Amino acid sequence: MTIRNAIARSLASLEVARRLLSQGLAGPAYVWAVRSVEIYVKEVMLLPLYLEELEGDWTRARKKVRKTFGSSNWGKAIALVDSSFGPLDPMRTEEGQDVWEVWQSIVIRRRGEIVHGRDDPSVEDAATVVLWAGRMMEQLPLRLIVAQKHPLHDFFVAIIEKGREALGPNHGVDRGSA
């Protein structure tokens, strides 16, 4: 399992949520959208931290991720990511609220209610959660790259450097004429 595979799994889960939503299956779409972000937090944000700490021991790193995240302990996971890689730039809702606070206090709680058959979200509510999950999948990698301490930063910088080398010295911005 690599970060690339984890991102692919997360995006595949989000795609399942979108397909379910397109079929009018609001509850399952809601749950799959939340799952897509959960995969991302566990396997892209937390796992690299523990792999470094445990010198590449995947078995022990995965156990630590499960222990940290526990039964949906998003607050602990995000606090650990912030203290290790960040703090990450905050994400805001359209109303200016912190996305993680809303995600934990409303979205996650409601997901539990849906899973246990105590709630049935509207298609509109599920569409909002699917939209938010998609935005998080776009924004979280950018925040991790900018943080400069996450492995995605090094991967991104390496891609930029290879592109710069491939173009050669005569392409891009002329830094001497500014």
Q: Where are the domains of the chain?
A: 3-172
pLDDT 10s per residue in the chain (178 long)? Answer: 577 888 899 999 999 999 999 999 999 999 999 999 999 999 988 898 898 889 989 899 999 999 998 878 888 888 888 888 877 788 888 899 988 889 989 999 999 999 999 999 999 999 999 999 999 988 888 888 887 787 778 877 888 888 888 887 766 555 454 4
21, 127 Cβ separation under 8 angstroms = yes
Return the pLDDT at 35.
96
Backbone φ, ψ for residue 91 (5° rounding): -105, 140
Report the predicted TM-score, pTM, of the whole model to 2 decimal places. Answer: 0.82
